[in-house]
Amino acid sequence: MNFRSILILLLSFSSNLFSAYPTAEDLFKNTGNQEVAGNQIILKFQVEESDEKKANNEFEGDLSNKDAIKTEIPEALSLEKHDKLGTKYLTWTFSLRKENKIELFQAVYSDSLMKNPHLELVNYLGDYHSKIRDENNLERSLFYAIISSLVLNDSRGMVEFLTKHEPSFLSNNMLLNREKIKQLEKYKSFLAEKKDKSLPTPLPASEEDSSNKKKQMDEMMNMSMYQKNNQVSLQRLEGNFFWMVNLPNFKAYYKNENRDLYKVDFNSETDNITTVMGNYMLFDGIHQLPKRILFKTANGRNFIIRILELKHVSQSTDLSKLNDQYKKIIDNKERSSSRVNYREQYGPYFFVK
């Protein structure tokens, strides 16, 4: 048996083990969703600020297991205390054409038609996950991390967010069982030497030696790829089972039966942010997303994100050039003070920039 075969068996074994007991990063990979298809993803969604009553009414049918996590729809601040954000419509276009770097083009519209006359703002990110790492706006960083997991099936966003904001978080790389890696390297060297015809042919192993090597091999195969940790546990809450990522400032709940993300809480001494996913549905016949997402900002404002469209396509648009084209459209429009001061006027603009 060559090293490639051993590695395949090892990964297969590890995969079965993870399906029984995942790490936090395994859950962030959104394994319940189908793999990304093509090299471009188009996501369209609506963002509406909501009061408590409307949020309760809209999510009431979705959150049938809400009580299992003792979750109430977050209370919004009275809308008289601040200017309510007008409903916005966004197109996020992800490009996967560059290896290890995901680009993003964002366009914000004031109308559901999403046509040029209603275009308000555009933005281009050359490295989406670096933005999550470097972003100082906590709400935006967390929202982007959640979208990375849900839309891209990519754990890097959550890893970047937690590495910066949750010191106790341990990534898969940090949890790697170094002893197992060491034993695999030894076995790889052993196989290479055995295959090298320039080396002297080793004497036939005794039955006892063969038995010992088999025992060592079995022990190596049975070793976990990752060290045990208490970041993830299976919790039974009011009759429902959830995989819970439990860190001092961060908690995420995943449904046991399908690993769908249900809820994310970030609670520090200064910031409390809650995100609740509604029911999941297929948008292109293959890939799923929550139909609605409730996002509560640190200052208590509620936003309902309604997913309008999700497409995976094979084309590869140059998003940087696309951004330049759309900027010209905005530059040619009359500059209104409300658009120029948009972020200052409405506060948390977590879904763009």
d(CA 234, CA 257): 11
Same domain, 205 and 286: no
The pLDDT of residue 209 is above 80: no
Residues 243 and 324 in one domain: yes
Residues 238 and 336 in one domain: yes
Q: Is 351 part of any domain?
A: no
- Residue 72: the pLDDT is 53
Q: How far apart are CA 68 and CA 244, in angstroms?
A: 13
Q: Is 285 a member of any domain?
A: yes
Contact at 8 Å (CB) between 146 and 137?
A: no
Q: Residue 348: which pLDDT band, with cuts at 50, 70 and 90?
A: very low
Judge if 140 and 50 occupy the same domain: yes
The length of the chain is: 353
For residues 3 and 192, what is the distance between their CA atoms, to the nearest angstrom? 9
What pLDDT is recorded for position 52? 76
- Are residues 84 and 71 part of one domain? yes
- Residue ending a domain, among 187, 222, 257, is 222
Check which CATH number belongs to the domain holding 317 and give it.
2.50.20
* Same domain, residue pair 239 and 104: yes
Which of 195, 222, 249 finishes a domain? Answer: 222
pLDDT confidence tier of residue 246, bands split at 50, 70 and 90: very high
> What is the 8-class DSSP label of residue 198?
T
pLDDT tens track for 43-87 = 999 999 988 778 877 877 675 555 555 555 555 444 445 567 889
Q: Domain for residue 334, yes or no?
A: yes
Residues 6+ apart with CB under 8 A from 55: 73, 74, 76, 294, 302, 304
Q: What gap in Å lies between CA 273 and CA 264, rounded to an integer? A: 8
Confidence of residue 28 (pLDDT cuts 50, 70, 90): very high
Contact between residue 135 and residue 141 where contact means Cβ atoms under 8 Å apart:
yes
Q: Do 297 and 249 lie in a common domain?
A: yes
Give bridge partners of residue 104 from the DSSP assignment. Answer: 94, 125
Examine the domain organization and report whether 74 and 197 are in the same domain.
Answer: no
Mean pLDDT across the chain: 81
Domain count, the chain: 2
Tokens 């916005």 correspond to 88
Q: H/E element holding 262?
A: strand 261-267
Residue that wins the pLDDT comparison between 260 and 14: 260
- Asked which of 120-124, 285-289, 340-344 is least confident by mean pLDDT, the reply is 340-344
For the segment 100-128, the average pLDDT, to the nearest whole number, is 95
Q: Which domain holds residue 203?
A: 3-20+178-222
| pLDDT value for 174 | 82
Verify that 152 and 97 share a domain, yes or no.
yes
pLDDT at 79: 42
Q: Which residues pair with 303 in a beta bridge?
A: 49, 295
Domain-embedded: residue 130: yes
Residue with tokens 């030497």, as numbered in its chain: 193
| Burial class (CB within 10 angstroms; exposed 0-12, middle 13-18, buried 19+) of 334 | exposed
Distances 72 to 270, 296, 300 between C-alpha atoms, Å? 21, 12, 13
**In the chain, pLDDT over 70 holds for what percent of residues?**
72
Residues 160, 98 within the same domain: yes
Residues 155 and 218 in one domain: no
In the listed set 222, 256, 286, which residue is the last one of a domain according to the structure? 222
The pLDDT assigned to 222 comes to 64
The 3-state DSSP class for residue 304 equals strand
pLDDT in tens, 128-160: 999 999 999 999 999 999 999 999 999 999 999
Q: What is the mean pLDDT of residues 261-277?
A: 94
Helix (H) or strand (E) holding 266: strand 261-267
Q: pLDDT tier at 341 (50, 70, 90 boundaries)?
A: very low
Confidence of residue 335 (pLDDT cuts 50, 70, 90): low
For residue 147, what pLDDT is reported? 98
Question: Is the pLDDT confidence value at 226 over 90?
Answer: no
Is the pLDDT confidence value at 19 over 50?
no
Quick check: is 27 in a domain? no
Q: What is the DSSP string of 86-146?
A: PPEEEEEEEEEEETTEEEEEEEEESSTT--GGGEEEEEEES-HHHHHHH---HHHHHHHHH
Checking if the pLDDT of 312 tops 50, the result is yes
Question: What pLDDT digit, counting tens, does each position of 276-301 carry?
Answer: 999 999 999 999 999 999 999 998 89
Statement to judge: residues 315 and 273 lie in one domain: yes
| Residue 25 within any structural domain of the chain | no
Residue 246, strand partner residues: 251
Residue 42 lies in a domain: yes
